[in-house]
Amino acid sequence: MKLNLIIFLFIFTFNSFGQSFVFDTIHNSGHLDKNDYYYSKTDFSIVDTLKLWNYKLDTNVTTRKEDTIKIIGQLHFWRTIPIDDSISKIVYNRLWTPHITFDIYSIKDTAHCYQISSRTRFFSSCVPPDVGGDIIITDNYVFVSRGVCLSCTRYDTKIDYCRPVINYLFNHLDKTKITTIESLVKQFTIDEGKLEKDE
């Protein structure tokens, strides 16, 4: 009985946190909140060369069985030229490629997205800045990264390659020209690329 009560209280508190957190941070829409603890080790002033990055919008994504809210699509970002981070070639026999993926939801599902973010961060075994759960709100869309452990930080220099690039791209959107998710991503000042599964 006590165990059931503890589990109930945990779930209730966890869900309440996810929903109340929205109203504390929604004013940071359009970019990542640099004051967030999870970005405390990210130097947003170091923006990687944009021409070395690609994006891909995938709107043919199936909503996860455990997800009660319909997903609009996924947005993938990756560096086109891998980096020698002094360990990946030894361990994985290949160079390291920074990349990050965002699930896209409607703005009306913002509370749900913050619950996803909270769960991702709570259950992650990684430490910032390698923890996912990133949230970006712009126009009628919410972008949330579900990766509990990301591949964004270079092993030897500890530089976060993804977030400064993502922040730059979203901060340079003209919101008056956003009518669809496609019109949003076409404003990115990086090229659209092909995912391996598309080739």
Predicted confidence (pLDDT) at residue 13 exceeds the cutoff of 70:
no
Question: What percentage of the chain exceeds 90 in pLDDT?
Answer: 72
User: What region does 188 belong to: left with phi over 0, alpha with psi -120 to 50, or beta?
Assistant: beta
Mean pLDDT of 139-165: 96
- Please write the tens of the pLDDT for every residue from 50-64: 999 999 999 999 988
Residue 8 pLDDT: 40
**Host H or E run for residue 19:** helix 2-25
DSSP tag of 65? T
